[in-house]
Amino acid sequence: MFEREDHFIGGAWLPAAGSEVLEVVSPSTEDIVGRVPVATTGEVDAAVAAARRAFDEGDWPRLSLDERAAYLRRFVDALETRREQAITLQTDEMGATRKFAVENFDGIRPSLERLISDAGTIKFREVRDGVVGDVVVVLEPVGVVAGVTPWNSPIAVELSKIFPSLLMGCPIVVKPAPECPLSAYLIGEAALDAGLPEGLISIVNGGVEVGAHLVEHEGVDFVTFTGSPGGGRAIAAACAARLRGVTLELGGKSAAVVLPGTDMTPYVPALIGGSLRNSGQICVSTNRVVVHEDDRDRVVGQLVERLSAMKVGDPHEPDTDFGPVAAERQRDIVERFIASGLAGGAKVVAGGGRPAGHDKGWYVEPTVFVDVDNKMEIAQEEIFGPVLSVITYADVDEAVAIANDSKYGLGGAVFGNDTEEALAVAERIVTGTVQVNGGPAAGGGGPFAGRKQSGLGAERAVEGLESFLRPKSMALPAGYRQAAG
């Protein structure tokens, strides 16, 4: 049992002021595995005030990029000493398989190093020719950041807000999802061990009310949110009312297009990983598989054969491929979608129910539907569970039309015998990121950005870092020349 009675506010552990607590229930055992306090409005105010002091009066925004990077590397050093606890806590609180948690944790340092490298290419100060004389253009930190995160990959997503914010000079207040607040405590411990200056990171627990108070706070300059489209709309409205910047990374219903005649033998693991990883609880999941009508049976056979060899079970066991979904209500949602697919005329060729031998826990079998029409609910709505729909097409133009017939545009994939041909099709899909022949998801080192109802702005890479900066132009008088640098 993980129990705490404090909050990490302004770089210190402070006893909780309120009596309300979050009880965290294990998705695999249905036992209570943690209990932590809910932040009061006063504690959120204190967190924002600490961040304001760090930004307005502290040294952090004025440190060099190299100095800030050195702090963050020490922070990762401290977090890595807690690797096993971080993996176990995430499995306890949201049912992530150990495989998934290990992969995410071991990606933390490479992600930071990639961001540091990208930041090194940004021109924070440059001299341009102006209409009269030189113009000095600088990029400055935007200010105090509020980061609101989901439950599907706790530490990785929290750090996806913390790293770019701090690297660009902005203190941040993070609100984890109420389903998974436990592992965030390790972030606070690592920040203390690394000697991060006061006020740079605060972590406040709670639900919608706590998140709303943070997002609407007058001391916040910028909001970064990952979550549902509904939550994104509410946050966007709050930011619009305050003329405040925001990035939104929202839902998806991405398509994996298999070009005619493609030999999928080398790509089936990538297709399943892209579609059903973390029991389908990934926003960029390609859970619409769009395959030529002549290839359907062959591709479906490969998918089912692969899935049948994968293990559904205790997420703490190292060889488990599919654990439970993260909450009882999430299982209810997934099962309702499965029932909707069957009622609409789609056919289940794998899964479709609860796995045998798992009377406890919120398990759903990995499920594959065929005979799916793209207009069906299971093809249009984000399920956020281990459900994959196979949709057939007659020609490539129809395949592209099916892929684009969605209110979302976050991820996607194209598989083909010829990579250049696959790339040409990928360019026609209206989405923010596309995996080509098994390339990595979520931008693969490029920007991660959504189209349509999948979000606003970008994360990762130079484009994501620049979200935390604002330009300033300083126009010099005629004839005055400013040295570059």
Does residue 478 lie in a domain region?
A: no
Is residue 283 part of the annotated active site? The answer reads yes
Confidence band, pLDDT 50/70/90 cuts, at residue 485: low
Whether residue 159 sits in one domain with residue 107: yes
Does residue 479 lie in a domain region?
A: no
Does residue 244 lie in a domain region?
A: yes
pLDDT tens figures, 395-409: 999 999 999 999 999
Whether residue 361 sits in one domain with residue 268: yes
Whether residue 263 sits in one domain with residue 242: no
Residue 467: which CATH number? 3.40.605.10
Does residue 482 lie in a domain region?
A: no
Q: Which of 43, 249, 365, 459 is catalytic?
A: 249
Angle at 270 between CA 422 and CA 288, to 5 degrees: 70
Confidence band, pLDDT 50/70/90 cuts, at residue 480: confident
pLDDT of residue 484: 61
Residue 328: which CATH number? 3.40.309.10
Whether residue 294 sits in one domain with residue 179: no
Does residue 481 lie in a domain region?
A: no
Does residue 101 lie in a domain region?
A: yes
Whether residue 99 sits in one domain with residue 70: yes
Does residue 189 lie in a domain region?
A: yes
Cα separation, 309 vs 316, in Å, equals 19
Does residue 199 lie in a domain region?
A: yes
Report helix, strand or coil for 145.
strand
Is residue 249 part of the annotated active site? The answer reads yes
Number of domains in the chain: 2
Q: What's the mean pLDDT in 472-483?
A: 88
pLDDT tens figures, 421-445: 999 999 999 999 999 999 999 999 9
Confidence band, pLDDT 50/70/90 cuts, at residue 412: very high
Whether residue 289 sits in one domain with residue 234: no
Whether residue 232 sits in one domain with residue 294: no
Q: Which of 283, 335, 459, 466 is catalytic?
A: 283
Q: Does the structure show a pLDDT above 80 at 457?
A: yes
Whether residue 348 sits in one domain with residue 229: no
Cα separation, 125 vs 192, in Å, equals 32
Whether residue 263 sits in one domain with residue 232: no
Whether residue 215 sits in one domain with residue 294: no
Q: What's the mean pLDDT in 86-94?
A: 97
Closest CA to 213 of 144, 143, 142, 146: 146
Q: Do the beta carbons of residue 132 and residue 480 sit within 8 Å?
A: no
Q: What's the mean pLDDT in 440-466?
A: 95
Whether residue 344 sits in one domain with residue 208: no
State the average pLDDT for the chain.
Answer: 97
Whether residue 103 sits in one domain with residue 223: yes
Cα separation, 352 vs 30, in Å, equals 22
pLDDT of residue 89: 97
Supply the range of the domain harboring residue 422. 255-449
